[in-house]
Structure 1
């Protein structure tokens, strides 16, 4: 083997090892805002110093979620005159950490994440999402596979259960309260685990890795209508996902973004520029929520020591 061929082989092996090492670590994905699609911004021009980074909790999956948020941020750019970029992480914890530490300036997060983030980092509340019924609150759903013999939440005692992320309002906090209201504590379950996301909870339920699971109502209703899952219980309403911001964002920017969000009409004049916005928890836009509603979630987070355990 000549030296040239040996050099090429060794170089290829070195690149392969580097790539493998990087793939095992979670990295923030930076996304360029195209007109309709998205692309990772590895080859995009460097962002300017006044770029506002936007994060979000994972809902449907990385590719689909990014496609949903990219046109939305394009709207914010056009309306506020500011530059926005997506910074995506797969874990709720990292989305919150980015916002709290100022790596991102704004984020769409669940109310539980907000309660924890407000306690840890003093992140600020901006607005709440409005659902299809015009309500800034949503429900959690407890689901089973279509062939399951379980049709009542009380039958879950002694069964296995899937939660989403530990920091998910609809995927953990509310389903846990629903089980408790039915007389079922975590100790009463044969097994429980955290899947990390709503869609992964659905997957584990359908694969039989748990007897039931808790997910968001929008996804549950859609999959139930398609005959893919059964819904055995809905929760009472809790405050929907919110837009939060880092405490150091200047007041002019906060006012501009808030005004743009309140003027956002996803079912009206802005509908054509959006992609699958009806799959989000803010299909009718945004509004201000009574602080009492958020305090309910904070109280549950403290009860289950979810705020304490993040410290």
Structure 2
């Protein structure tokens, strides 16, 4: 457990209070040795008013009623001012954690993911007390809700930049989405603003059942048009692409045997030309067979 940082004003405040009490005793009984035991008895009787005993694996937040300043006491017996009172106890063994299954769109398919996160109050380092006060200022459900929103945003952005086949390496996704760059920075900012330690890990990443069924169907496509038509059909997950999106995805799929050619045709003099049939097929290296 970290040590409790007791402010200097606590010592000076208690010394001042008991100095005044000692002077009052001296005035009542006179300047005799009786004033000393009276002072000691007074201190013993009121010990619960200027000390706080915190149990193990716990932290206790107290507030100065005069200045409204809060500070944290960790396990053990600690001095406090008479006008400091307890506001909250924190169990330092608490873990906020969830296992979540969510679906994200990649460039070419819907991906199903499972990730786990754990959040603990951060009581390490020189700012342990400040972190506990910060952590206690949030409801636990609010911390979890904000964490879910952050992790979902990071995964959504990452998946949206990649194609499905590149989203099966969990170690790579964990590193690139959570362990480096802007993702790591956002997580560190969350830790600093909530006084917590965060652990998040992607456990699984694969195509949704509907996306996998569509991929199986696409693998049998014989033409670019057939690929687009399949993508425009509503899948098992109820999702269907429009033509523009389907054509974009079909190009990304790069399926074997399915190719698209851009052909420039000089149709001068036949401006009303609508459909052209090439007899003999297309030569990929240029020209016509």
Q: Which bin holds the TM-score, normalised by the shorter protein?
A: under 0.3
> Which is higher, the Rg of structure 1 or of structure 2?
2
TM-score, length of structure 1 as denominator length: 0.21
TM-score, length of structure 2 as denominator length: 0.22
Larger RCO (CA under 8 A, 6+ residues apart): 1
